[in-house]
Amino acid sequence: MSGWLGEKRPRGTRVVTEEIYNRDGHWIRQFPVRTDPWSVVEHWASENKYYLVAFRGQRRLYQKETGWGSLNYLTYVDLKFHDGRMTVVSWIFVSFAFRILSLFLLPSEMSFDPHGIIGVRKRRQTCRELNLLLSRFKQVPIIGSSGLHFMDLDPSTLLVGGLSFLTLFLSLYVTTMKLQIQPLLANVLLWKMGKHLLSLIVVAAILVVIHDLFIIRRWSLPLYKWVSAGCAMTIFIIVVLLLTMKTGQEMKFEKLAYHCWYRFSESSCREQVLMLPLEERTHLFEQIQRLQSEIAIKPR
């Protein structure tokens, strides 16, 4: 594993340039400990919901189960204290049901590489938990685990972001269907589409930030998270519909103005007018008649 940026190193510790794995592919870290470590370990295990499943002399094995029923991960932390040195070995066991759902992309055991895609959320969560244990012994965190990664976000935030992107793509597709490649006209329509896309990106970003900063980080209850996610998506869909309708009207007017005024073509103008709904067509004729009457009564 490569080095990392921005990770704080406790004073007086050696620099870890590469993580070590044993023959079984399990992550391992060794460091000196001056006092009895087990009170610190037990406090850490209790805080992070690790349970003691086996012990023998100065060696203890802790386990943590996360998931639902047969869909679970089992995280093991094997600690051994001998001659003033602590050895920490850890790995993640993946249930067979999870492996089936992942089409066997997930291995039976995962190591602690905090990068990548497959199982990265669980791997990074375990890295953060072990970093808490390492920090209490004034050891540096696992390399790469302190950097930014999109999977560190809450699942509800990822859902809001993903659905927002999908909705944005569908809106852009609908708007693109109204594009016409004509001299000058295409530039105007692309400008309208660009403003439409930028507005939706800004709205989506604001909703994701509000959901993540003001809801997720203040209330940890799942109900609040998913209610907030539902509200954010409802608001975004409403904004998308309103802006799409507005952009469609503006593009329709620009095409009408182009074919009927700027580059007059009787057939194209008639086609654009006939494409208007009856109410809009009637309103357009009334505006034209009003304009003609105003021009007629002006003194020469």
Please tell me which residue, 81 or 194, carries the higher pLDDT value: 81
| CATH annotation of 20-136 | 3.30.310
pLDDT tier at 1, thresholds 50, 70, 90: very low
**Measured distance CA(201)–CA(76) in Å, rounded:** 42
∠ CA 178-167-253, nearest 5°, is: 25
Please tell me which residue, 283 or 98, carries the higher pLDDT value: 98
Give the pLDDT confidence of 84-126 residue by residue, as tens digits.
999 999 999 998 988 888 888 888 888 777 777 778 888 888 9
pLDDT tier at 2, thresholds 50, 70, 90: very low
pLDDT at site 226: 82
pLDDT tier at 263, thresholds 50, 70, 90: low
pLDDT at site 15: 60
pLDDT tier at 67, thresholds 50, 70, 90: confident
pLDDT tier at 146, thresholds 50, 70, 90: confident
Give the pLDDT confidence of 162-189 residue by residue, as tens digits.
888 888 888 888 887 766 666 666 777 7
Tokens in use for 222? 């799942």
pLDDT at site 290: 64
**Measured distance CA(26)–CA(92) in Å, rounded:** 9
- The total number of residues shown for the chain amounts to 300
**Measured distance CA(83)–CA(105) in Å, rounded:** 41
Q: What is the mean pLDDT of residues 270-276?
A: 69
Report the share of the chain in percent with pLDDT over 90: 23
Q: How many CB atoms lie within 10 A of CB 11?
A: 6
Q: What is the mean pLDDT of the chain?
A: 80
Give the pLDDT confidence of 202-236 residue by residue, as tens digits.
998 898 888 887 777 777 677 778 888 888 889 98
Give the pLDDT confidence of 17-44 residue by residue, as tens digits.
678 888 888 999 999 998 889 999 999 9
**Torsion angle (degrees, nearest 10) of CA 110, 112, 113, 119:** 50
Pairing, β 51-56 against β 27-32: unpaired
**Measured distance CA(281)–CA(249) in Å, rounded:** 13
Q: Is the pTM of this model over 0.85?
A: no
Please tell me which residue, 139 or 174, carries the higher pLDDT value: 139
∠ CA 166-171-175, nearest 5°, is: 150
For residue 78, pLDDT over 70 is answered with yes
For residue 291, pLDDT over 80 is answered with no
Across-strand partners of 54?
61
pLDDT at site 295: 55
Domain boundaries, the chain: 20-136, 153-264
Report the share of the chain in percent with pLDDT over 70: 77
